[in-house]
Structure 1
Amino acid sequence: MREKIIVALDVDTQQEALALTTALRDHVGAFKVGLQLYNNTGPGIVKTIADAGGKVFLDLKFHDIPNTAARAAEAVVGLGAFMFNVHASGGKKMMADTAAAAKKRAEKLGIPAPLLIGVTVLTSMSEEELQDELGVTRSLPEHVGALARQCQQAGLDGVVASAREIPWIRKACGEDFVIVTPGIRPAWAAGDDQSRIVTPKDALKQGADYLVVGRPLTKAEDPAEAAKRLLAEIE
């Protein structure tokens, strides 16, 4: 079960990231390097964490014209992350070109291609914000399902989405499509700035493949004990 847990290393320094990697690597499956850590430390942090025994999900959410996103994907493949992502709202061509470029680069390097997943709707957003601020007329689950289907058609391996939308994604894309769920909060943790949160047990029951957990573990007084508590809650 621990292989399904990805810890969000939303910290500023390599020292903090490595301390968390060391404390948690025996209790979780991977670590997420996002914009905060990546921009503070640079791309070398991916290899540094890998060398310390942690698989890396590189969460940079590429969203640009197809050529730019594809060239960025080529650069990411060489870093050694096992998974990275793009914004699904960048469109089918952007996603397809990015997926093709990543696979071609991996073949050239003689390494497995990383999983490529599309971010559907950020878990910090509510349905009201999606409709009122972005002008989306579909319901949130319908919108997420439609974006997931576009990701699949473009050749992506899966999506990032709230566990609340998993039934819609499974209906649109089937059982083999990878679903990564952020906004995970154990029953004993605060919701913080997330809107569409679920417990880890509920997310797995819905069919999530990976759970991204951040502050309940990284801000805990004893991260390893918090991870054990999280796993106990799931089991």
Structure 2
Amino acid sequence: MSEPRIIVALDYPRAEPALVLARTLRPELCRLKIGKELFTIAGPQLIEKLMQAGFDIFLDLKFHDIPHTVAAACKAAASLGVWMVNVHASGGRNMLLAAREALATSPTKLIAVTLLTSMNRDDLQEIGWQGEPNDVVQRLALLARDCGLDGVVCSALETAGLRQLIGHDFDLVTPGIRPVNSRLDDQQRIATPRQAIQQGASYLVIGRPITQATDPLATLIQLNQAIAS
């Protein structure tokens, strides 16, 4: 069986509902993502429990600080045994290189956030960033690749262009995935699972469509079937 392409976002305020959901899912069908809120309240202990259940963990803390601090944080994250960790590409070349060096001997994947999927052109202008969202994403993705990272987080709408620009030996992790007829919630630049895979995504981050489903496992199976088709 091929590796799981779906990463389920455990966007919960405490550990118990995350563990309840994990018990309904299957490690061969998905990986799990732990973000800032859940990690802050539940910490490494939750990661250990989920890994003992067989799940690969994407620790989504988006480190962004001076190079030394980010390098130390990445090394600490890798010591937990997580599958993937991320940083903000906008932290710049020196920060990205420091993070890469910190994980030089670790199997933990290191990826960079290009542009948050909640941001649009107006948001970019307000903070003084020039260009369309796609231009910003491409610049930051090229920087991440040049610094030796394993991939980037990007919108599925940008994956086709990035694949053409960067090639296939580079992970594209795409949040903002919504099955057909799902709510947008706070996402702006979205795609369906099938669209995302067709456009070149490596992994799909899916949260509420699975975590709020009446039957999360059945939904996960259906999403995998949509990807496979």
* Band of TM-score, shorter chain: over 0.9
| 1:93 match | 94
Quote the RMSD (CA, aligned, Å): 1.4
Q: Does 1:78 align with 2:79?
A: yes
| Letter aligned with residue 200 of structure 2 | G
Please give the TM-score of this superposition, normalised by the length of structure 1: 0.92
Contact 1:95–1:151 under 8 Å retained in 2: yes
| 2:183 match | 190
Offset of 1:196 from its aligned partner? 0.4
1:7-49 deviations in whole A, cap 9, x for unaligned? 0001122221111112112563200010111011012221111
| 1:10 match | 11
Look up the SS of the partner of 1:85 in the other structure: strand
Pair 1:81–1:40, CA change in 2 (3 A): same
User: Residues of 1 paired with 2:173 and 2:35: CA distance?
Assistant: 15
1:122-142 deviations in whole A, cap 9, x for unaligned? 011112211x21222222111
Number of equivalent positions? 227
User: Residues of 2 paired with 1:74 and 1:64: CA distance?
Assistant: 14
| 2:161 match | 168
Look up the SS of the partner of 2:187 in the other structure: coil
Q: How does 1:1-235 map to 2 (within 5 A)?
A: 3-26=4-27, 28-104=29-105, 106=106, 113-130=107-124, 132-234=125-227, 235=229
Offset of 1:118 from its aligned partner? 0.3
| Letter aligned with residue 84 of structure 1 | V
| 1:109 match | none
Contact 1:82–1:114 under 8 Å retained in 2: yes
User: Residues of 2 paired with 1:190 and 1:82: CA distance?
Assistant: 29
| Letter aligned with residue 86 of structure 1 | V
Stretches of structure 1 lacking an aligned partner (at least 5 in a row): 107-112
Please give the TM-score of this superposition, normalised by the length of structure 2: 0.94
User: Residues of 1 paired with 2:22 and 2:3: CA distance?
Assistant: 14
User: Residues of 2 paired with 1:227 and 1:157: CA distance?
Assistant: 26
